[in-house]
Structure 1
Amino acid sequence: MPLRDKSRGLQWICPIILSVALLQNAALAQPRGRQFGGRRADFSQIDRSQFPMWSTDEGFADDVFTFVRIKTAPRWNQSSNRDWTADYPDADFYFSWRLHQLTSIQVNPNPITLELTDPKLVDYPFVFLAAPQSVDWTPEEVVALRRYLLNGGFMMCDEFFGSIQWNLFHEQLKRLFPEFEPVELSLSHEIFHTVYDFDFVPQVTAIHFWQRYGVTYHPVAGTEYDHAPHFFGLHDAHGRMMMLICHNNDLQDGWEREGEDKEFFERFSVKQSYPMGINIVTYALSH
């Protein structure tokens, strides 16, 4: 749905609210017979057959939801650091699949990646940014993203932890919107209750940190001061949320890790990552 046509926005929300399956039911059973998840070094050679496939109704050809991941050059290139490719492409394919499976929204089975300066960006009301601490936007990217968000777009930022990584991203936010400051959302905020009703603030870690240390966060520098989950909204002058910042969280790891570990899947994917992801998309498309 192009951002240019704001009158069509409610077409997204009605099917979601009218028909949402329970995450605990058989529809979200772990896939059997093969291992999901894992890194791919060569993203130009993604094997689409490794992921679930479905078709969309022909009548909704122009109204499908497409998961869009933002590509941006990182401020560093060391292999130990995360960038826009974190948990890609598995998280994108599996979240799209579950959104299709658990709601009646028409979902594109083929998520895409875009640069902020791509003119097609305005065709998509929701975009996803991984590892926001790694970005160092060019002046052109700042202009493009600012225009996109002020014109009705929504960005979800996920997978960064601790005060050091927060400060790195906050520097970029002030370049983007010097006049606005992120505001922490309380558990009473609508986004925690849009479709799935949370009575706690969700927090998801990377599977290897949970398996190795039993922690629900990434134990990186800066988390010794605060590793509790925080969700911040960046709002425009009219109070509309343009960006959701998921700090001390790795929601997408719960999307990526389909079938790798039954306990991780049930504790994080089923109860937190997928429900919160559906809440966020629903909120974004209805506001």
Structure 2
Amino acid sequence: MLTRLLLLSITLTSFIVSAQDLAIVKYKGGGDWYSNPTALPNLIVYCNENINTQMNPKPQTVEVGSIDIFQFPLLHMTGHGNVFFSEEDAENLRNYLLSGGFLHIDDNYGMQPYIEKELKKVFPNKELLELPANHPIFSSAFPFSNGLPKIHEHDGKQPQAFGIFENDRLLLLFTYESDLGDGWEDPEVHNDPEDVREKALKMGANIVKYAFEN
């Protein structure tokens, strides 16, 4: 137990002094955590060119239960299907978020019921709350007066952004029925119009800027 606490303390210190960067979360359960392979590299290029970040153009992959997540102020998670967190995974993610980390979960379609269930392991006493359109994450770099933009159509539902808070700090963002990651991918993957891709990238830049500065 003492060894684990010492390791966590060292990791938290490295987290606090780490450079701005992000990583992809690998999780258990059989869901395709690796979907949208060109999305984050494209978002990183966009952010480095437009909001003055200096992120590594090749995002690393980290397992949700690994202490490696503490090296990154921002984690990105996506997929279409099942998600499973062990108790150790949930504890690790909870410690990461409460120590200053930020997690963006982008539902790539079909992820919602699984991730909502697993987040209850992370924060049993917290609920996902819908963010109002005037939340600062929608204007941190580029203004979105109506909140989360619609990027890819699935079921004809309105896009929604949900969050988990600790006091007033947003720890986690769950984007639903928007599919930002599809808009970040290479143009030929989904053949989205350029203005739609631009909206997705701008909203992604907002998330990055907000996570790095809050």
Q: What CA distance in whole angstroms lies between the structure 2 residues aligned with 1:166 and 1:232?
A: 11
Match of residue 233 from structure 1: 163
Tell me if 1:275 matches 2:202: yes
Match of residue 4 from structure 2: none
The superposition leaves residues 231-261 of structure 1 with CA deviations (integer Å, 9 ceiling, x where unpaired) of: 011011x221110000112101111133557
DSSP-derived class of the 1:200 partner:
coil
Contact 2:79 2:109 (8 Å CA) reproduced: no
State the identity %.
28
Q: Normalising by structure 1, what TM-score?
A: 0.65
Match of residue 194 from structure 2: 266
Tell me if 1:85 matches 2:34: yes
The superposition leaves residues 35-68 of structure 1 with CA deviations (integer Å, 9 ceiling, x where unpaired) of: xxxxxxxxxxxxxxxxxxxxxxxxxxx63x3230
Structure 2 alignment gaps of length 5 or more: 1-10
Contact 2:65 2:89 (8 Å CA) reproduced: yes
Q: Normalising by structure 2, what TM-score?
A: 0.85
Higher Rg: 1
Q: What CA distance in whole angstroms lies between the structure 2 residues aligned with 1:68 and 1:260?
A: 22
Q: What CA distance in whole angstroms lies between the structure 1 residues aligned with 2:79 and 2:124?
A: 21
RMSD (Å) for aligned C-alpha atoms: 2.3
Match of residue 138 from structure 2: 192
Match of residue 52 from structure 2: 104
Question: How do residues 29-178 of structure 1 correspond to structure 2 at under 5 angstroms?
Answer: 63=19, 65-74=20-29, 76=30, 83-88=32-37, 90-131=38-79, 133-161=81-109, 165-178=111-124
How many residues in Structure 1 have an aligned counterpart in Structure 2?
203
The residue identity in structure 1 corresponding to 2:154 is: H
Match of residue 214 from structure 1: none
DSSP-derived class of the 2:21 partner:
coil
Q: What CA distance in whole angstroms lies between the structure 2 residues aligned with 1:171 and 1:189?
A: 25
Match of residue 6 from structure 2: none
Question: How do residues 232-251 of structure 1 correspond to structure 2 at under 5 angstroms?
Answer: 232-236=162-166, 238-251=167-180
The residue identity in structure 2 corresponding to 1:83 is: D
The residue identity in structure 2 corresponding to 1:218 is: H
The residue identity in structure 2 corresponding to 1:142 is: A
DSSP-derived class of the 2:28 partner:
coil
Match of residue 36 from structure 1: none
Shift of 1:103: 2.3
Tell me if 1:204 matches 2:151: yes
